[in-house]
Amino acid sequence: CRPFRCPLPSFERAAVLSARGRLWNSTFLEEFLAVTSVELIVRASVSVTSSIKNLVLRDASVQIPVSIYLDPGAAVLGGVPWWVILLAVLAGVLLLALLVAALWKVGFFRRARAAPPALPQHHAVKIPREQR
């Protein structure tokens, strides 16, 4: 239910109010998958707040049945075939293998080695106590 409020500044003897609504075909397919048609009952009522004392509303409440039919051309299939999923998985694994091979060739996975020291290294020698 949606309330609408609208001012009628040039309200004369009569006024006609109309409302439109849309039901998308995808919504129809999601909600009513096993059904080919649906009948909706639309209810609307109008109330006027005015200082006019002799205002008469005819047909202030209305009830309209609306029939909705499925468009068979827009119906979706049940799902994706298994071979398409298998082909996509194999293509993904092949792409991953090619990426790893390319990175291996450019040396991305080589271990970083420490540079050789620039100064010569001296080894400590233990001098016996008697010689100190």
Better-scored residue on pLDDT, 77 or 41: 41
Instruction: Please tell me the total count of domains within the chain.
Output: 2
Which pLDDT value is given to residue 86?
96
Q: Are residues 70 and 91 in the same domain?
A: no
Q: Are residues 57 and 86 in the same domain?
A: no
Q: Are residues 83 and 59 in the same domain?
A: no
Q: How confident is the model at residue 101 (pLDDT cuts 50, 70, 90)?
A: very high
pLDDT at 9 over 70: no
Task: Report long-range pairs for 63-66 (Cβ below 8 Å, ≥24 apart).
Answer: 65/39, 65/40, 65/41, 66/39, 66/40, 66/41, 66/42
Which pLDDT value is given to residue 75?
55
pTM: 0.39
User: Token digits for 98?
Assistant: 């090619």
Q: Are residues 73 and 13 in the same domain?
A: yes
In the beta sheet, which residues pair with residue 37? 69
Q: Are residues 32 and 95 in the same domain?
A: no
pLDDT per residue over 27-50, tens digit each?
A: 666 776 677 777 888 888 877 777
Which pLDDT value is given to residue 58?
74
Domain enclosing residue 9, as ranges: 1-78
Residue 6 DSSP class? -
Query: Which strand (E) or helix (H) includes residue 42?
Result: strand 37-45
